[in-house]
Amino acid sequence: MQRLDDKTILITGGSRGMGAQMGELFASHGATVVLTDVLDEQGEQTAAAIEGASYQHLDVRSEAEWERLVASVIESHGRIDVLVNNAGIDLVKKLSATTLDDFERVVSINQRGTFLGMRTVANAMIAAEQPCSIVNISSVAGLEGVANHAVYSGSKFAVTGMTKSAAKEWGRYGIRVNTIHPGIIETPMTADLRPFTDPEMRVKVERTVPLRRMGQPIDIANMALFLASDESSYCTGQSFTVDGGVHP
């Protein structure tokens, strides 16, 4: 069993879906969990339901809020052992119809938010001479192009690239950086997609998945647990795909 006793774990986008599932799983393995989001009411409710968890507001696009949050967590808990950059949004739109505002909104959350989180936590832990694990949630769309998801896909490719570069820069400090690439996962973010609203479409999509089912948040949380634990201590700069076998 992968224990996380005495580890402090910071999760963005933690109010629901994969982030909430990770928080619950990490806490059940002994971690102190700090959930963050902009959905404050839901985030506070989620944290209240998890023993060992707390909630703080964070707009991942804001450099000042990242600095405030990291300083607060270190003041309260001494260090940050694990950062999970989970906050993200999707955009289902043809590239030809995508506006600059669409582009900037997706990139500001998915790419800029991940960049700010990585940099702020890594700088703090390097200064404190403390190792840590950074887990960035990318997507299978960060491994191949996906029609009608050009901006989302581009932002997730960026997360993949930043992760690999950061792993090479920060390895000497004991900072590991890896990505998880979920396939189709049933979460509030994907709830409006046709495979989840049309039962016939769901059956067709599941037939294309070797394991014959849609992914659930716990599938991603279990991989994040491994990367947060010391059992992955020799893994950095790697991409871990969790998609039921669609991309072997």
Active site residues: 152
Residues ≥6 apart with Cβ < 8 Å to 123: none
Handedness of CA 117, 104, 154, 56 (dihedral sign): positive
**What is the helix (H) or strand (E) element at residue 223, kind and residue range?**
helix 217-228
Under a CB-based contact definition with an 8 Å cutoff, are residues 136 and 85 in contact?
A: yes
Tokens standing for residue 155 = 């932002």
Query: How many C-alpha atoms does 61 have within 13 Å on its Cβ side?
Result: 10
Instruction: Name the nearest CA neighbour of 88 among 185, 216, 230.
Output: 185
Length of the chain: 248
Q: What does the alpha-carbon distance between residue 69 and residue 79 come to, in Å, rounded to a whole number?
A: 12
Contact between residue 187 and residue 17 where contact means Cβ atoms under 8 Å apart: yes
